[in-house]
Structure 1
């Protein structure tokens, strides 16, 4: 098949799903073209070595990649973020008619939702079938953030986005969602149940895999006699890191909390740690992704945390797949499908989000868990990943959906 992949984000940005799929499809005999932007995520600054221009096409591992200009931004400004999303929608639509003209089917990595503009155009012009891979729930993922103003303006934007998403559900030939609860939401909002399938996101397996902890990783973690719980990723308004700091402070004799990452919520978390006088919370800042697996191995548990918002109950965070692929048990302060998966497979300890006292209790339980039981949790975590969430399983399911859509 001739397959077009449309994604605003693509490596060297941390967007391994569309790249892994593109390379996996080429390995299975398909011809793949990717339409994407110039790399600037997550900083909003163009990556070194790149210069935005209109005609930028290269072949990477058998995949033809076309980059189109966009307005780069990923800060708190809703206007600038909207300009980034809409600029890619415009330039990708302008390029798609020629670049993806001969595609038998399109795969759309749907985050943000405006990425659907170019596939919608090809669907209208040529009837090209489209498989949408939804990564979050719109409009809630925008309306619940600081990008959208409160009041009447916010409600108007929300209503417009709801209407746009209903159109996406109607136009898509089939829809892949990343959690069972997301499937329920999409179906309730108008998608045909027969065309919606659950495909769990996999980890970047070139980076996240079971390895031994390196001396450098152990030094960064700074392991003492206490149980080490590590959070790796964005420290933003949705991650609720301040509750994690409070929980760690409450059980300071038992737990070290290590935070590897950065974001707009980091300053507030650091200030809270200082105000509480914690001696068991350490901030490592943003570290290279290539170092993460060794850091995971040096810690005892990985922390997965999100605020208690309806939009998050229908997703399984990428942090969970990364931890499980490394064979790491987790402490999960989340709701919905993610917590259910952790509890069902006994691969960690879960508690409701937004309750730092419950999280402190899970931290304490993690610290007092016998070493043998913690190791068994790690083995179950890796087995769960390999059987339910691996790259091979996910690509196989998406390839089936693309074949069915093309037919």
Structure 2
């Protein structure tokens, strides 16, 4: 088939799904064309070596790539973030008819929702079917953030986005979602349940894989021969780092648990201040580390922490940190609502508790520290096995390819 991929983000940006899909579809015999923007995520600055221009085309790993200009930004300004999203929507739509006008089917990496502008045009003018891969729920992903407008403007924006999302879901020939509860949400909002499938995201398997603990990595995280729980990633308003700090600091015998935090973000400084205020000498901040080093750091720790606030949209979210941890064969402690906690508990790959309750999280830290070494090793083996069977790159791409073929065949019949 001729397959188009529309994604605002693409390698070398740290978004692996579209690039992995494109490369693997080529190896399976398909012709693949990617319509994307110039790389600027997550810093909001165009990457070195790239210069924005209109007709930028390249070929990588057998994939034809066209990059279109956009307004590069990823800061906390609602206006500038909207300009980033809408600029890509506009330029990709202008480029779509010529670049993707003869493909059999289009895959859409649906975040933000504005990326559907170009596929909508292809559907309207050429009848080209689309398979959308929903990564977050709109409008809640917008309205739950600090950038969302309030009052009448906010309510109007929310109603408008709800109407837009209903039209997107109904227009899609196939919908892949990343968690079971997310499937229920999109079906309630107009998606055809017969065309909606749960396909769990995968990790960057070139980076995240089982790595044995080394003396160098243990020194790097400050390992002190006690249960070490590591949080790795963004420290923002949704990650609830404060609860993790309070939980670790509250343990009566701090010698049993170390909490190591690798990463940065808007909540990092307040977490550092809180740890200092509580006098928690069992908490260490490593700062941002190169992603290429993370598998080794995972291997040096005993558990990975996955934490999110208790926000309704997170009921249907499985954070990417979970896939990365399980791909490395690392057991987890999760303080996340909904599907993520259920997956962990059902498969025996870690310990779970409700979010926004640091006392319960402290209890899980204590349980992790008391877990016998042989049980922890069995948990680690299950973690990697669950990743391979349910979340791996091959498992995900097998299912997405099936959806693309089905949509293309159905689309030919309807045209």
Distance 1:247 1:149 in 2: 33
Match of 1:173 in 2: 173
Match of 1:346 in 2: 348
Match of 2:267 in 1: 265
Alignment of 1:145-294 (within 5 A): 145-251=145-251, 252-294=254-296
- CA displacement at 1:60 relative to structure 2: 0.7
Match of 1:337 in 2: 339
- CA displacement at 1:7 relative to structure 2: 0.5
Q: What CA deviation, in whole Å up to 9, does each residue of 1:194-218 have, x standing for no partner?
A: 0100100011111111122343321
Q: What CA deviation, in whole Å up to 9, does each residue of 1:15-55 have, x standing for no partner?
A: 10000000010010000011111111111111111111111
Match of 2:412 in 1: none
Structure 2 SS opposite 1:313: helix
Alignment of 1:4-403 (within 5 A): 4-251=4-251, 252-403=254-405
Structure 2 SS opposite 1:229: strand
Q: What CA deviation, in whole Å up to 9, does each residue of 1:69-120 have, x standing for no partner?
A: 1111111111111110001000111111111111110000001100111101
Structure 2 SS opposite 1:4: strand
Match of 1:406 in 2: 408
Q: Which moved more, 1:196-205 or 1:220-229?
A: 220-229
Distance 1:216 1:146 in 2: 40
Distance 1:356 1:129 in 2: 47
Structure 2 SS opposite 1:45: coil
Distance 1:65 1:284 in 2: 37
Structure 2 SS opposite 1:191: coil
Distance 1:220 1:156 in 2: 50
The 3 A distance-change label for structure 1 pair 278 and 146 is: same
Runs of 4+ residues deviating >4 angstroms: none
Structure 2 SS opposite 1:46: coil
Structure 2 SS opposite 1:357: helix
Distance 2:137 2:322 in 1: 18
- CA displacement at 1:226 relative to structure 2: 2.1
CA RMSD between the two structures:
0.9
Structure 2 SS opposite 1:339: helix
- CA displacement at 1:381 relative to structure 2: 0.5
Q: What CA deviation, in whole Å up to 9, does each residue of 1:116-149 have, x standing for no partner?
A: 1110111111010000000011111110001212
Distance 1:376 1:214 in 2: 20
Unpaired segments of 5 or more residues in structure 1? none
Distance 1:157 1:254 in 2: 49
Distance 1:217 1:52 in 2: 39
TM-score between both structures, scaled by the size of structure 1: 0.99
Q: What CA deviation, in whole Å up to 9, does each residue of 1:147-193 have, x standing for no partner?
A: 21222221111111101100101111110000110000111111111
- CA displacement at 1:261 relative to structure 2: 0.9
- CA displacement at 1:270 relative to structure 2: 1.4
Unpaired segments of 5 or more residues in structure 2? 410-415
